[in-house]
Amino acid sequence: MRYVSTRGTAPVLEFEDAVLAGLARDGGLYVPEEWPQFSAVQFRAMRGQPYADIAFQIMQPFVDGAVDDDTLKSICDESYNGFSHDAVAPFQQLDDNLFLLELFHGPTLAFKDFALQVLGRLFDTILARRGERITIVGATSGDTGSAAIEACRGREAIEIFILHPKGRVSDIQRCQMTSVTEANVHNIAIQGTFDDCQDLVKEMFNDEDFRSEQNLSAVNSINWARIMAQVVYYVSSALSLGAPDRSIAYAVPTGNFGDIFAGYVASKIGLPIERLIIGTNTNDILARFMETGAMEARDVVPTLSPAMDIQVSSNFERLLFDLYGRDGRIVSQALTAFRESGTMTAPSDVLDKARELFAAARLDDDGIKAQIAATYEKSGVIVDPHTATGLHAAQICAPDPSVPVVSLSTAHPAKFPDAVETAIGIKPSLPPSLVDLLERPERLDTLPNDLSVVQKFVRERATNK
């Protein structure tokens, strides 16, 4: 399986190099040259199998021998062994045809564990074989940092540096990162905002000397392996509800478009998906695009669902690539225009194509609280603010009532206790494994928002010279 860049001019790579590269050299994102196909017979045979076994079968054609079958099988087993629910991704039925898919039973209580647990192990396997080491630098506004740290802690070939904005992540999110004691984990609190952190990371990647000296790698959802691993829970959940003999709709709280793009990939490999419903918060660029065909960036507004406080969803580029007939030149032109002017309008045939599968709805903070309360009153289930945006969109954009709608529950409500408490007056409690989290000793360094200071820190701490 070869991987091509969405902007058409970067070298075509095999899986292993695409995973290590993260961003393509022409600024694009890697996607498979063609979509592997699964037949209805193959899907039916997976029904009822353990999650890790389905994961192996779905990922195998994408990995395509870069990791041998036995190793890939153990990576799948080990990645999902640490989940606290036997089903890995269990359902809660909310209504006749509305299901919550709980994706928060991993070690850091958000869906990002599903992909990062796999990615950490893939990195390890590939690097050990090559005799190489990497330095991971990433910025987080909350959930990605802890999931990446958890996946990379103690791994021989990896040094991981996670930047978070000092004082601007929740206590739980901070402690999930800073209570990790392995020596290869480095938490940096930046005196600045999340955007400052992200800019520092981008500048480190753009500094060619630093990038090659440190062998920098990325763990955000521009990394193809993350999308690949997320396709699995679409398949496993759809099979439980009767696919491939029946079509299923999904509602997805969306920020960087990684999670819902995995749903798109599931449909491309042959899973019957009736509709993919984008849930946004007040930062609703994707919902506006679906209404008008115009992508128009605005300032990011902080909301109760911070993991979705994003204006430019990087993975949307992967969808645009397909919508524009896989012509990297047009994608590149459209995105250059967007970067320069802040707007981009898709031609009507492209918008029509997007609307064949996608729908979208937005929810502001008052709506989020109302949705948390309504779900609790109706079914006794407590959902987090991100999940609430998805549930709202699921109801607004549901197709024909005979089609089951699966709404993805992306985080445990105890990760966002304040928002939940204002909505229903109950503070959700952390699961047993994390009850003492806030009392654990913390390890972090505070640095100014200054590229040279941060680079010096990384150089000194990384053991791979």
Ligand X SMILES: *Cc1c(COP(=O)(O)O)cnc(C)c1O
Q: Is 214 or 407 the residue whose CB approaches ligand X more closely?
A: 407
426 in Cβ contact with 420 (< 8 Å):
yes
Residue of the chain from 23, 110, 136, 419 that contacts ligand X (CB under 6 A)? 110
- Measured from the CB atom, the residue of 192 and 255 that comes closer to ligand X is 255
The terminus-to-terminus CA distance of the chain in angstroms comes to 33
Of residues 204, 271, 304, 307, which one binds ligand X by CB under 6 A? 307
Which one of the listed residues 112, 166, 369, 415 is annotated catalytic?
A: 112
Count the residues of the shown chain that bind ligand X, applying the rule CB under 6 A: 16
State the amino acid at position 418 in one-letter form: D
Token pair 């960087």: residue: 256
Task: Considering the complex, state which of residue 43 and residue 257 has its C-beta at the smaller distance from ligand X.
Answer: 257
Q: What would the x/- binding string for ligand X be over residues 138 to 157, using CB under 6 A?
A: -----x--------------
Q: Interface mask (CB under 6 A) for ligand X, residues 308-347, using x and -?
A: x---------------------------------------
- The nearest distance, CB 194 to ligand X, in angstroms, is 13
Q: What minimum distance in Å lies between the beta carbon of 307 and ligand X?
A: 3
Q: Report in angstroms how near the CB of residue 262 gets to ligand X at its nearest.
A: 8
Q: Pick the binder of ligand X from 138, 253, 263, 270 (CB under 6 A).
A: 253
Half-sphere exposure of 238 (CA within 13 A, CB side): 29
Contacts 24+ apart (CB under 8 A), 62-65: 62/1, 62/15, 62/32, 62/36, 62/224, 62/228, 63/1, 63/15, 63/228, 64/1, 64/14, 64/15
Q: Which of 5, 178, 254, 281 binds ligand X (CB under 6 A)?
A: 254
Residues 21-60 that bind ligand X (CB under 6 A): none
Residue closer to ligand X by CB (options 127, 397) is 397
Determine if 281 is a binding residue for ligand X (CB under 6 A). no
- Looking at the Cβ atoms of 59 and 447, the one nearer to ligand X is 59
Q: Considering beta carbons, is residue 120 or 258 the nearer one to ligand X? A: 258
d(CA 393, CA 224): 27
In this chain, which stretch among 173-181, 257-265, 281-289, 353-361 interacts with ligand X, using CB under 6 A? 257-265
Which one of 7, 166, 386, 392 is in contact with ligand X (CB under 6 A)?
A: 386
Taking residues 389 to 428 in sequence order and writing x for each that binds ligand X by CB under 6 A, - otherwise, the string is ---------------------xx-----------------
- CA distance readout (Å), 30 to 4, 16, 59, 439: 5, 12, 16, 41
Out of 16, 159, 259, 284, point to the residue binding ligand X (CB under 6 A).
259
Residue 131 buriedness (CB in 10 A; 0-12 / 13-18 / 19+): exposed
Cα separation of 154 and 152, whole Å?
6
Site for ligand X, residues 282 to 301, rule: CB under 6 A: none
Under rule CB under 6 A, residue 112 binds ligand X:
yes
Cα distances from 63 to residues 58, 174, 186, 303, 452, in angstroms, run 10, 33, 30, 37, 37
Residue 268 designated active-site:
no
Rounded Cα distance between 348 and 264, Å, is 20
Question: Looking at beta carbons only, is 141 or 184 nearer to ligand X?
Answer: 141
- Mind telling me the catalytic residues? 112
Tell me which residues touch ligand X (CB under 6 A). 110, 112, 143, 221, 253-259, 307-308, 386, 410-411
